[in-house]
Structure formats: structure tokens, C-alpha cells
Structure 1
Amino acid sequence: MELWKQVKISAIQKSMQLSWLFVLLAGITFLDCILMIQYGEGVTILSWEWVKTTLDIQDILLGVGLFSFIFAAVLPGFWFIIWPLLLIGISYITKNHKILNDYPGDGHERIESLIRKAAEDGNTALLRFCERHEHDIESKNLLSLCSQGMILFTFGAWLFSDNGNQPIIMNFFDFWEAQPWYIAMPINFLVGLFCMAVFLMVGMKKNQSSEYVYYPETSHNKKIKKDAEKAPFI
């Protein structure tokens, strides 16, 4: 039991480290995109002397505010409008109207109902179960937002690049390509896997079905257990 607790704590710590990594990468790609739009060159233009002579505190505060606004309002607002339209289109093409139903299926309950049940029964184990589920959902949603931001900012930097300038990720690729093949190939493979993971993590965003959690003590699962007990032993 003690070992299992250590494994869960280790998993939480690793998810936090991954979240901070994605926030950092999203910040770098955001800065790269903004500099490319305003100055025609990405983060490669940065130096201490350039920062002192070009930027002031107002520019920094404006950049922080814009970064926060994009992640707090623009990206969630985009999915708030687009996601229902995508579901309607998919349900129309597949002729499967169950896609429009937010309920994941039998054996699931709303997380708010379970929290209320845990408070009424004084069930600390159930309360920890709900808190862990909410933490997992928020961690996945943060990774999804950062992934969306990285894709958006990299595309924006590429779109506004000119005079041979290119997004920071392209500069890294050029640097690796100049290395011997036994260095370039493994790095390109790992970066390719990371880019694939970034695109896949976009789908981890928070949605209506995230409000439900699969809980073993639902009436559906109790019924399955009773049916299994009544079944003859073979």
C-alpha cells in the first residue's frame, strides 16, 4: 500500500514537471511569434543589450497580458464555439446522434454528485478520488492549451517570417541537420515523436464529458455484480 502511494505521488510530480515544461515552451513560441510579427525576427534577435535598448516595462507587461488573454479567453472561446459545430458535423456524417450526448455511458456519475455524496457520508477516500480526478482533468487541460498555443504561435511565426528568418523550431532543425547523421537522426526521431505528442495532446482539452467520472459503486456496476453472483458456476 505504501509503495502504491509513492507511485501515485511520483506520477503527480512528473505531471507537474511536464506541465511546467509545456508552459515554458508555449511561452518561448509566443515570444518567437510576437517578435517575428513586430521586428521580423524571432527569439534569435534577443540579447541583453537589445532588450535594454528596445524594450521597456510597458512592452513586457503588454506581452504578459496578451499571453494570459490568449490562454484564458481566446483558445477556450474558440473551442466553445467550434467544438459543438464539429460534433454536429461528425454526427451528421456518421449518422450517430449519440456523439451529441455528453454522458459518457453507463457506470459514470457527475463529479459534483460524488463530492456531495462524499461530504454527506464523511467518505474521505471518495473525496480523495474526486480530487485526484479533478486534478488529472485540469492537468490534461493545461497540457492541451499549451499544445494548442505552441501550434498556433509556431504557425504564426512561420506565416510572418521573411528575409530568410524562420520560427525557432526550424532553426533547431537546421542546427541538427548540420550534425553527423548518428546525432541528427536520433534527435529528429525524438523531436518527431514530441511533435506528434503535441498534436495528440490537443484532444485532451476539457469538455462537458469531463464532468463525469467512472465510479465502481454506481448502480449500473452493482447490477453487474449481482448478475455475476446469480450466474451459475461453470
Structure 2
Amino acid sequence: MISNATLSFLKELKTNNDRDWFNENKKRFKEAEAEAKDAGNTLFGMMKTHDAVDKVKLFRIYRDVRFSANKQPYKTHFGISFRRQKPEYRGGYYLHVEPGNSFIATGFWQPEKDDLLRIRKEFEMDDTEMREIINDKTFQSVWGEVKGEEVKTAPKGFSKDHPAIDLIRKKQYMFTKNFTDKEVLSKDFLEKADQSFRTIRPYFDYMSEVLTTDLNGVSVI
């Protein structure tokens, strides 16, 4: 479980984002960090029962400010990623714990150049299966619409008038689901997150097949 103490620490950190305050509250941070790590490991165990996830990672709270205009030294959230076993399984999962802005995310955040081209080529050839998956009522009730950055008109080599241009122009293919603080603090929060992740599986199965075959359906792994 995520406790109110963890959310309170993150909330206070947001208004006291400096090294002096952080060092004075190092014990609270360590307790909150341990709790977030335990939550990540617990969710990882649940996910392993229904998907080939092989790594869980709690991101460091320290920000890299070298090339950023924002010089605040600390993140005000805990982020945890869950990796699917490559090369046969593609995509990933993410858990974000932040007061007033907690969510889970899944899909393709920064697809490699070749993977992005392969996905776009698939949609150019036939977007029927993708549409059936993302328009399914159960899928929609959990994840809503596909999200992600996109080019303004069309990627190089693709027609801006193609019927699937709404999918082709995307640079990311992600889905997110938000949770209130009350939901995060509930005893069944991790179970709900896991149940939501289960519903993404048809999308992952489809995208994994696309990214492990060529346009003729021949395996490339």
C-alpha cells in the first residue's frame, strides 16, 4: 500500500524543493522510498502472473539539472517502470505516484526509429485490427483514447490524406489512467492497477506481432 505519509512527504517536498529541507527530512524520504519500492515489487509480482515482465525499476528522485532551466534538485513523485521481456514482447508499463497527479501508463513512450517506421507502415497497409482493439468498449472504459506526441501533417513518405493518418502521424502510442489520492491510498489500489494493465494485453499482443515480423508476416527475430 501507499500511505498518507508518503503522499504528505511528496506534497511538502513540492513546496520545499531544496537540499537543506531534503536533508533534514532524509529519514522520511527513505521511508517513503522504501514504501514505493515495496509497492512496485508487489505490483511486479501480480503482473508476472499474466505477462512476461522481467524487470521492475524505481527511478531515482534526484533530477538531472545540467541541461534544464528548472534547477530544482528533486522530483516530486515516485516513478516505477515495468519492462516486458524482449525481443519477443514489446511495450512497457509505468506507475506514477504524485499527490493530485497519480496515474498508470502503458504502451510505447519512445519507440526506436525502426520500430516507429514499422508501426506506421502497418497502419498504412491495414489499420483494421488496431481500430478493433482500441475501440472495444471494455478497453475504452479503462484506457480511453491513444495518446502521444505527433507530427503536424504527415511523416516523410506518408500521405497526409491517408485514412489512417491520425495513427500514422503519432510519434508515441500510449495509454494512461488517472487515480485520485483517495484511490491511491485505498487497500486495493495495486489490484486495480494490475487489473487495468491486464486489459491492455490485446494491444500488446498485436503490437508485439507487428514489431517481430516484416510486412509479409515473416518473423525477424
Structure with greater proportional strand content: 2
TM-score tier after normalising by the smaller chain length:
under 0.3
Higher helix share: 1
Q: TM-score, normalised by structure 2?
A: 0.24
Q: Quick check: which has more Rg, 1 or 2?
A: 1
Higher relative contact order (CA 8 A, sep 6+): 1
